[in-house]
Structure 1
């Protein structure tokens, strides 16, 4: 690991590790985080970890709220079990303090707000348990919005409840995440949002034309709003199914910078290979609209992240721009929005 990478504030905007922690918990192996993920995060130089709560299909209706709260509680217990290594953070100041103390800052997130059901007021409950980043849909439909997996059959935008949740998130200081929203939903958010937001784990359609990636128009709008797009470096079809290399990840970074701004680029690798391998014996893509016939990503685990720094340096990125991509830009959004009350409810 280079000194540049080691000394940067590396922010991973999306890692579903809590699903694998829960999987091993239920099989009598509660030490999985300490044995696997903590060394991986340290080896990758990760100092801020956004931890999304993603619900498997069987929990996305009646069991959504219960499953969401159970996984949120498990994240809190991780922090209690490893107080010298990790810390739950509610504000940008909390994140800065955790990083300064040598701890990994955990930021709770929802990937698809299934637990809210049709009750927008529950976003306030999520805020009370520490959630600070939220997307409204995953691959399919919720009461709030359509996910990008429905773009071929439906282009529904935000529902009235979804608009209410967006407005309340801006009021409370919860960061909005447009990754996984369908085309119309992204457009709705960008037309209404007044604060910087995130696309925690996405890519560029101009580089890899898949429904989960963003168009140049969307990239420009997110950049103009002061937002940040985390490149999904660990997901081959979002990067390049034939060549999911560190070099192709940096191709996405360069394109985002050219269309929007270098200030709009971050990292949201989405490290899910180990989860799919352990739970399903390989990639499973129900509703994703993709055929899992791609090559293995070069950026497969957190320990691989320094390869991106090396690739950016080899292409002539300045140290300042490398630090921005690794986490400086994401930190700006977290400091500006996370836990900072915004506009009053209309």
Structure 2
């Protein structure tokens, strides 16, 4: 089944993890054998061939570069200009993949419709380019508001104002507080440019303030349910309900600690914690029950988002295993149309509405 994944850190993996994503996952992991600089070395799950193998023909691909103030212990760049430069290197990677015929940018209704025709006409996916919608995870690299229009010009179509910790425009996961002084100005410019607001990673205070002042299109590219795993990174039922009311789609994320409660990073393992795709479907089903339908959930896997097989469902060896979800959903009683909604149609409808 043609599938859409709304959150993959492809350029981060290419530039910071030094992974050649044109290789198979097996080849990537073989090259990393014996490396220990990152906990997910030799445990990768994502590459362009594996996306094709799984029928995942369209992804939301990120740029990401955090600015950190002197008192911020998180990893990141020491100035917004450095963060901007990092995102430009990531952009250059995507452009190089386009030049090689490996990827193609999707940024408006015309390119979306063209790409869908390409992937859904019965051609072999093994030779098709992966479509990507460019998203910025955390707005710290936007040096000032004028840079947002520069980013839109090169294809930026979705933006999450914060990532982890305090951001320059909003507060993110594990932080508290509302929008920063320039946060509302950023949202106003996003609304003018028709850039999608990605509510993922906004702390509760910033979430409610952002949704109150932003009148454009909103989604949550990779988020699960606080009712099932109680952490501020997850959405509460009240947050999920307001997103549903706004017509949002929420992408189910495959980071193990977001799927099962009690996960201890660096100690727990997927098999021991019973973390599999069935448990991910629990989160999908929770959102469907809140909505009363299957129109507001999709896939936003976040696979290889600074974790690998050591911290994802144990029945996922590569991203192609997302293809196991339809049969599992059918066993839960989801209809063919429901499954199509969850695997692709909800994201397609959202984009057609946002870009029409």
So what's the TM-score if we normalise by structure 2? 0.80
1:1-346 to 2 correspondences below 5 Å: 6=1, 8=2, 10-23=3-16, 31-36=20-25, 37-55=47-65, 57-59=75-77, 61-62=79-80, 63-82=82-101, 85-102=102-119, 103-117=129-143, 119-150=144-175, 155-232=176-253, 234-240=254-260, 241=263, 242-260=273-291, 261-272=293-304, 276=307, 297-299=314-316, 301-338=318-355
Give, in angstroms, the shift of residue 226 of structure 1.
0.5
Q: Secondary structure at the match of 2:295?
A: helix
Q: Quick one: structure 1 residues 254 and 24, their matched pair in 2 at CA, closer, same or farther if it must change by over 3 Å? A: closer
Bigger helix fraction: 1
Q: Quick one: structure 1 residues 35 and 225, their matched pair in 2 at CA, closer, same or farther if it must change by over 3 Å? A: same
Gaps of 5+ in 1: 1-5, 284-293, 341-346
Cα distance between partner residues in 2 of 1:114 and 1:297: 34
Moved more, 296-305 or 248-257: 296-305
The question of whether the paired residues in 2 share the 8 Å contact of 1:195 and 1:225 is answered with no
Q: Secondary structure at the match of 1:189?
A: helix
Over aligned residues, Cα RMSD in angstroms?
2.1
Give, in angstroms, the shift of residue 317 of structure 1.
0.4
Number of matched residues? 305
Give, in angstroms, the shift of residue 110 of structure 1.
0.5
Q: Secondary structure at the match of 1:101?
A: helix
Can you list the C-alpha shifts for 1:107-138, whole angstroms capped at 9, x where unaligned?
A: 11101112114x12211111011111110111
Q: Secondary structure at the match of 1:76?
A: helix
Q: Secondary structure at the match of 1:12?
A: strand
Q: Quick one: structure 1 residues 300 and 163, their matched pair in 2 at CA, closer, same or farther if it must change by over 3 Å? A: farther
Give, in angstroms, the shift of residue 194 of structure 1.
2.3
Q: Quick one: structure 1 residues 209 and 15, their matched pair in 2 at CA, closer, same or farther if it must change by over 3 Å? A: same
The question of whether the paired residues in 2 share the 8 Å contact of 1:145 and 1:159 is answered with yes
Cα distance between partner residues in 2 of 1:168 and 1:336: 19
Q: Secondary structure at the match of 1:159?
A: coil
The question of whether the paired residues in 2 share the 8 Å contact of 1:194 and 1:225 is answered with no
Give, in angstroms, the shift of residue 34 of structure 1.
4.3
Q: Secondary structure at the match of 2:76?
A: helix
Cα distance between partner residues in 1 of 2:248 and 2:55: 23
Can you list the C-alpha shifts for 1:66-100, whole angstroms capped at 9, x where unaligned?
A: 00111012111111112xx4211111331221131
The question of whether the paired residues in 1 share the 8 Å contact of 2:255 and 2:307 is answered with no
Q: Secondary structure at the match of 1:230?
A: strand
Give, in angstroms, the shift of residue 24 of structure 1.
6.1
Give, in angstroms, the shift of residue 65 of structure 1.
0.7
Give, in angstroms, the shift of residue 302 of structure 1.
1.5
So what's the TM-score if we normalise by structure 1? 0.82
Cα distance between partner residues in 2 of 1:174 and 1:45: 27
